[in-house]
Structure 1
């Protein structure tokens, strides 16, 4: 996909340290011990709220008393904020006066009349890779204030900034439209697979299944390790699987989290066996996957680990059942947590599962695997389209902020 773009920008761009152009303001969190500090009239932003270029609503609010008695800062509408911890690379413009927590920094221009705020936003997006690569911390990636202040900001006059913004608005709008189509196609493909797989299960097991309580057909249904992770990670060792590694009935380890052999042996309860089913317990609940041979003996964090009675129900079949629309609705029915969905082992153990004879399960899985191969090519194509669009977007941003677009 090629975009024709042009912008009249002086060949000589000057760059200044960000800290010379902006005041970099941090935030904070009011004490959770005082209920009077929360549910007030002041929007209070966390990284979870930063999901679009403009932040118009927040999940939580705080009171004036909470603002006064904490490090939280109220940032005026129209200013740019960026993630300095956890969600590195995120940035947005505030649509209303909003308080921020300690994981966010606000960029307040020292001379407001000189800065086009969307120019600043696009610039931050153009250096996302640089910000992410500078992150440090074993479990929670963050960047330090000196690094933020040292970032080279392109200091050109405001009219030039406006022309860059106008050019990028036009070019990126076309890319965003293409991305929307690719995302919709990928979603449709996944939903078609889910519905078709569910249909295979229903058709091939009809009249031959027995409805059984999940807890009666497993030998293990327990939590993965749920302690603090701050001091357990090592540079290399035993792969440690997290919820982010489980999506769409697939386990994909990114190679970033490891624990020591000693930790692995000490926490045998969460030690995995090939064929186990991992069920995401918090956040994107209901996603699940079967543990493949290469992760036999490894460990996991805060997921539900299920070992089936293999002569009654196989791990792959249980995972396929979990991914049907009916079971996804069941997970939503038994979930706890008003803001972060959560599944408990106790409630999952009580779920009723339709179990056909073991041989029928294998036949069902053979058909589902055939279906999966047919849909995989389409999913790969749409995922590749999304990657190409993301790469082109970053290329346009990079060229715009190095004065290369002519």
Structure 2
């Protein structure tokens, strides 16, 4: 099926004029691709915020928490899930899925799909994907129960990797400390 067949709402965001200061520094988290690359799978914080006035004077919209965020400009194909309501720039296509779709499954599906998107990317001053192109991605969707099993399994592997990355970082710090003591 096509991605558009499983979407309740899918829309890119927008950026208010940066020269109008009162559009920014409000209480609405404003997501950029930079935030996505820093935060990773789950978005809980954004560096920038916008005001209600900024929201009203742009094509940005409030993306409800537990939506899928997909970068479509420059750094194409980054995928995240927002754990907070937020607005996004036009460089991010936000997706709210129908009820029979597991959000985590789609996170992994579209993360895997990143290696294939080069054939859909349009180049101009920067690489980008059009919303219509994304909506027409052909994807295989198993029944919800299977989606949930797959996403739980992959999430458990992610947690395992995270634990061992932390252990590795701790060992590197320990080694550095030992080396300093040995040679100073």
Structure 1: segments with no counterpart, 5+ residues: 1-15, 200-406
Which SS does the other structure have where 1:151 is aligned? coil
Partner of 2:69: 81
Please list, as runs of the form range in 1=range in 2, the aligned pairs for 1:267-306 lying within 5 A after superposition. Answer: none
Structure 2: segments with no counterpart, 5+ residues: none
Alignment check: 8 A CA contact 2:12 2:131 kept: no
Q: CA RMSD, aligned part only?
A: 2.5
- The change in CA–CA distance for 1:139 and 1:121 in structure 2 (over 3 A counts) is same
Alignment check: 8 A CA contact 2:60 2:87 kept: yes
Distance in 1, Cα, partners of 2:20 & 2:105:
39
Q: Which of 12, 15, 18 is 1:32 aligned to?
A: 18
Distance in 1, Cα, partners of 2:165 & 2:173:
12
- The change in CA–CA distance for 1:139 and 1:43 in structure 2 (over 3 A counts) is same
Q: Which of 50, 56, 59 is 1:71 aligned to?
A: 59
Q: Which of 92, 106, 114 is 1:104 aligned to?
A: 92
Distance in 2, Cα, partners of 1:126 & 1:187:
32
Which SS does the other structure have where 2:16 is aligned? coil
**Structure-2-length-normalised TM-score:** 0.83
- The change in CA–CA distance for 1:139 and 1:175 in structure 2 (over 3 A counts) is farther
Deviation, structure 1 residue 132: 4.7
Partner of 2:79: 91
Distance in 2, Cα, partners of 1:17 & 1:154:
8
Deviation, structure 1 residue 133: 5.5
Distance in 2, Cα, partners of 1:121 & 1:184:
29
- The change in CA–CA distance for 1:143 and 1:188 in structure 2 (over 3 A counts) is farther
Deviation, structure 1 residue 175: 2.9
Larger radius of gyration: 1
**Structure-1-length-normalised TM-score:** 0.40
- The change in CA–CA distance for 1:126 and 1:28 in structure 2 (over 3 A counts) is same
- The change in CA–CA distance for 1:66 and 1:160 in structure 2 (over 3 A counts) is same
| Higher relative contact order (CA closer than 8 Å, sequence separation 6+) | 2
